[in-house]
Each structure stands twice: as C-alpha cells, then as structure tokens.
Structure 1
C-alpha cells in the first residue's frame, strides 16, 4: 500500500512537472488553466491566503520586488510594493488617501457620485451634511451645542467678506433672494440675524443686538421687522430689548413700542410713531416739512424765543 501511494504521488508530481514544462502554467483543481494565467486556482469553497505578517516583518523584507503583495495583520490591510514604497493602493490607483492626494485633476478627480443619488457625510457615524442629487447642500444631524457652520474671517487686514453670494438679474427675472430664514414651527420669531460681542458669546447663542421677523399678534402691524439691542432676549416672547419696529402690514415705523401685544391693543397708524421719549432736532434751521392741500411745502421750525415759524420752501 505504501509503495502504491508513493508511486501515485510521483506520478502526480511528474504530471504537474510535465504540464509546467509543456504549458508554462499551473492549474490547481483544473486541468485547463486559463491561457492568460501562469497560475489558475479553481475553487467554489476556498480562497487564496496571501502571506500574513506584522508591519515590522513586512518592512524587514530585503529588496522587495515591484508588485510584491502581503497582508499586514497589524493594519489589517493588503499592501503592495510599487518599486519605491509599500502602498495601500494595491488594486486601484484612483483611491483617495486619508493623508492627502497629489497629482489630481479637478476636471476628472472628485469626491461624489456619478448616478442620480445624493451624497452623505458623517461624523461619529451621525449624518452631518448631505448633498442631494440636484446639488442642494444641507447641514443636519443630531442635536448639538455648537453652531453647525462656522466661517472665519477671510483676512483681518482687509475688508474681504467671509461669505459672498452672487445673483445675476435681468429685466423680468424673479426677485432675487440671497439668503432666507424660516421658522418651521409656530413661534413668534420667524427669523433672526443677530450680532454678538465675542466669538464665545456667539458660539453659545447669546447676542448683543439683532434683527428679527416677528409674527406679531397685533392686527395693525402684522408680521414685522424688529430691531433689538442692549442684550439677548430672555425668551421667544420677550420684547424688553426691542428698539424699533417696521410694520409688515402697514409698513409704519414704531419707536419704543412692543411688537408682541394682545390682539385688542390698538397701535397708532401714522408713518412714524414714537412713545416713551422725545424727538430731538439738533441742527439749527432744521424742522418738520409738511405738504399743504394744494401741494406746497412748508417747514415748521422755531425762532430763538421758541415761537413756531412756518417757512415756504421748495418741496424736497
């Protein structure tokens, strides 16, 4: 039995040897290796196991041949020698490296998709930004305690803006909108453009002044543009810092009034309304210009004794 087994092994080896000599190929589990291969391994249940080694062992290989392939079991990655260095770009030369890339062409090299599918960016496995298939970018994700977008100044030594939006308009085009905010809920403040005294207070959401769109429940002014200053409002309905209102319905100007009143409160309906203070004209010779019923203009001022004077003037 041992003799016949030994003879069988010799016959098998002789067959392989003769096949290699005559064909220049090796086939394992196949008698018809592919003509383009030097080694053709056929299996439906097993794979090829590349030499496995540590990073130190890989780096200790003397004079590695170009194209040499190993599996680094410390990095858990395949690496190949490109003639100069070990590289992870073994099976494709078009991968984007996590430490930077060189020799790229912006007309052909990009990060993105080539089908009608959007792109998603994640941090800590939470979606942070998406770009839809039509090019719309969206910053979203989980609840965070920092601004979603922080833009630094372009150059402190110049007045170059940090953000610029360009609009091209022709006659008959729709009204341009460079930036717009909206409140998807039903609160009073529908939008807010605020100013902070420092980056620290800005990052925490604490403003010193700002402009809001107030969904006022006062029927005479409706949704209004409100300017506030002197600190950050304490809550959604706080009006203590409000300085001036431009009514959304009547487009009147209100100084010293609250933009959030009960529906029964009646506000004056003049173009300029002031409460809680005086109007002070400091320039000598200045006054209030009014138009008479016949279209003539008169300026009302005072003399040195405080007596009102009316002067006919050319309408401005």
Structure 2
C-alpha cells in the first residue's frame, strides 16, 4: 500500500513539472480568459489586499514598482511609483506635475524633514491640495508654493502657533484657518508676492502680520471671532478686495504702517461693535503712489477709523481717495473751503485806496476773517486766501458775496474780482459806480476755475476812475469754493 501511494505522489509531481510555466490559473472558473494569467470569478466575494496605516505604509522598505496596499488612515488604495519615488493614491493616478494631496499631517513628513523639524518647508512651485482637517504641529513656510482646499468649509488648517511664517510668499486659497496664535507671521525682503483668497480666518489669537513684501493681494476673505486683526508694514502694492470683518472680531482689524506705493481696498464690510477700530492709518510714513478705499461698508456704531487728518471732521490725509458708506467721503472731488469776515457788521473794516489801476487785496489791517469748512484747502494771508491742498487738478466753482461802501469817491467806478495766484479772473469782474459816501452796495462774484495743488484764490478791488484817497468800508465778505 505504501509503495502504491509513493508511486502516485511521484507521478503527480512529474505531471506538474511537465506543465508550461505560462499556464493559466482560474479561481472560481475552469475556463480562465485567454488573456489573463489569473482569472478570478465570484458573485459573493472579492479580492482583499494588505491593509495598513499610513505610518506602516511609509515604513515599507524599498517598495516594488506597482506595490498595492490599502491605507486605513486615508481610506484609499495606494500604489508605489518607483520613478517618482512616492506613493500615489489610486483615485489620483493621473495627476498634474508638482502636486501633492494632503489628507493627514503625516503627508507633510518630507516637508517637515526639509524644514529641519521646526517648520513644514513646502516645495517651490508645488500645488498642495488640503483635503479635510489638518492639525499642524509646526508653522508652514510657503516657499513660493500653492496651497489650497476644494471646500473652504471642510478643508481646514489648525495650528498651535503661527500657521504661515518665514520670508517667502506663495498662494493660499479655499481654506479655513484656525490657531490660538497668529495666522500670518511673514516678513519678506521686499521682493516677495503673496496671494490669499476665498478663505475664512476664524477664532484665532490674531490674523497676524505681513511686512516687507512687494505685492500682497487678499480677496474674498472672511474674518470671524479673532482676538485681533492684521498689521501691514512696508508693502509696495497692497490690494484688498471684498473682505468681511464681522463684529465678533476684536482689536484693530487692519493696521497700515511704514511705506507703501499703493493701497487699494475695495468692497466688503467692517462691522465694528467692541473692537478698537476697523482701520488704523496713523503709522503710515510715506507713499509714492496713491491710497484708495472704495465701497467698504462701515457700520456697527464703533470707532471706524484711527486717522491723522489735517482737516477737521475727517480721517485721512490728502493722499487718500475714500468713498464708503458710514464714513465721510474724502476725495479731491469734494474738496471745499469757505472764509468770511467775522467782525462788526455795523462798522465793518476799512482800507485806503490811494492809486487808480492798482489791484488791492480786500483785507483788514488786523486779520479778522474766519476760514471754516476746509477740506483739502488751507487758508493764509489773514485768512483772505484759500489754497488748494488736493492732489489732482480739478474744476471748481467759486461764489463770493460782499457788502461795501466807498467814501469820498462820488462818480468813481470800482471793480471787484477774484484772483488766482495773483492773476485776475476777468470773468468774475463786478463793476459798481459810487453815487454817494453813504451808499452800501451788494456785490456778487462768480467764476469756474481749474486749480492744481498749491493754487490760491483771493478777493481784490481796483479803482478804475478818480484820484486821491478813497476809503473802502467792507461790512460783509463771504467766499465759498467747491
């Protein structure tokens, strides 16, 4: 019996050895497909690949090209790409160049190593897609990379201190950012560019600080529940578009300090309830371009602007062009000024006219004019002069009313007119004839004139006929320009 069994075993081995090495194998079928080396058929069961965590997957030593595993942390199949020396999620087998999907902070292990274990140093010109909530242990150095989510509400970066730090720029989009520290701690060298858009900054210690950048563009960002805002310092071009500052924010929402070429803030809102201010511009030292705030809605009843305007009742210097609901409009287009004689109406003031054909500025020996309602105008020359202090040349309308009397000049003719930079505006001339020394006459002067920065306007008088010394008495004089 043993000999027979031994014979059958030997025969079976010989038969197996005689098979072709490329023979097909079928599981669940006796007729495997001719194109397959292994054909598995079942209507009740599947194929189960090795299952492991992300850490276990990354710990596989020298994985073979095409090695397939299921990552239980990521809930995804991964295969190994030997050419790229990286694991690729099977669902993203066809990827753009310079791309990395981040579904867990462990996916940034290489970046942490590149950052010396103290920051995540991103690869330059690489697109990092954030998928889900990522709890960061260290700050991110953008290093001119692009980091973005697909769903702002679902794709979240949570930090322990600063989320973004370092000297480099980059692009940040479609993310929610939360940290007990500062979201931004960026200090460049003056040549870097930063784009931040379509994102939320929520419940953070502060939005942070960005300084010494060439270009900073922040668009369609919402800020809620942050203890303090953001400080912009020494930025060549600062572009802020459609930013929403909710009343739950504290501190100063946006602080501008140092030197800028351009500041352009447009759209959005600032709801100020308990915060210190929405905007602080007191720290700006110089500009070589222009500053603009347009169509930003300021509301909530708090302090909207910390400013340093030379014009009473306004917030900004003449470098700004501001037109927003909730705060005064401040543009060269609404520049205005007024002065008036504030002495006794019954006695007025007098001055001597001794020469015919000579232009005299109408002013008392002791200045007694009051200049008020000045916006982008200043006063001088005993306040009987308004000087345009705006930046852009524009057309103005000037209106002047006066009540005068001339003594000892019966039959003489007098001309009253406006003067620009010492030159008479002929179109404003008003001619009167003196009939008696007790006659009081009303005079109205009007002119449209173009003024550039530094141009000034005065009221003058000239005796056209007669000789000797006449006495001009002015009971009222009021000039307005707008």
| TM-score band, normalised by shorter chain | 0.3 to 0.5
Higher RCO (CA 8 Å, separation ≥ 6 residues): 2
Query: Where is the strand percentage greater, Structure 1 or Structure 2?
Result: 2
Q: TM-score normalized by structure 1?
A: 0.41
Q: TM-score normalized by structure 2?
A: 0.30
